[in-house]
Amino acid sequence: GRRNAHGAYLALDAFISGLTLIGDRDRCGALYPLTLDYIRSGQVFSALSFGPSTPQLAAALAADAAGLVEQSREHFEMALRQAHEVPIRILQPTVLYWYGRSLSTAADTADRLRGRAMVEAALTDFRALEMVLHANLAEQFLRDGR
């Protein structure tokens, strides 16, 4: 409800990615309401967080951390759609990676298998795009058997 400088949204995006990477779900989930303001800002893409991102991806990660499964999936689907429609080539495997990680924790076996397949597809793209750090993260995730 207050005026927010663009830099604050970029910091939010980076903070959410970082909290997700270190597994701090409580703090990450608490940021979900702020991501809705980020979406309303009209920003479509950011490369200033841990890799490429979008407000929809940040919202998906925060909603997932907050346990808001349906909202998370809606944001992930929108992020995937935007990555293909804009198009932002390096964002496409990034969204697949994070979405796949999220699905890999689902109760449904089919969702978990779909999530693993998404991370595998992201890994292939990361390698093709020479996104070495991202490829390493995907490899580690798959090696850990999640």
Query: What is residue 47's predicted lDDT score, i.e. its pLDDT?
Result: 59
pLDDT at 4 over 70: no
pLDDT band at 132 (very low <50, low <70, confident <90, very high): very high
Cα 52 to Cα 3, 46, 65, 95, 132: the distances in Å are: 25, 6, 19, 9, 14
pTM of the predicted model, to two decimals?
A: 0.89
Least confident of 23-32, 36-45, 84-93, 127-136: 36-45
The model's pLDDT over 91-110, given as tens digits with 9 standing for 90+, comes to 999 999 999 999 999 999 99
- Decide which of 47 and 13 is more confident: 13
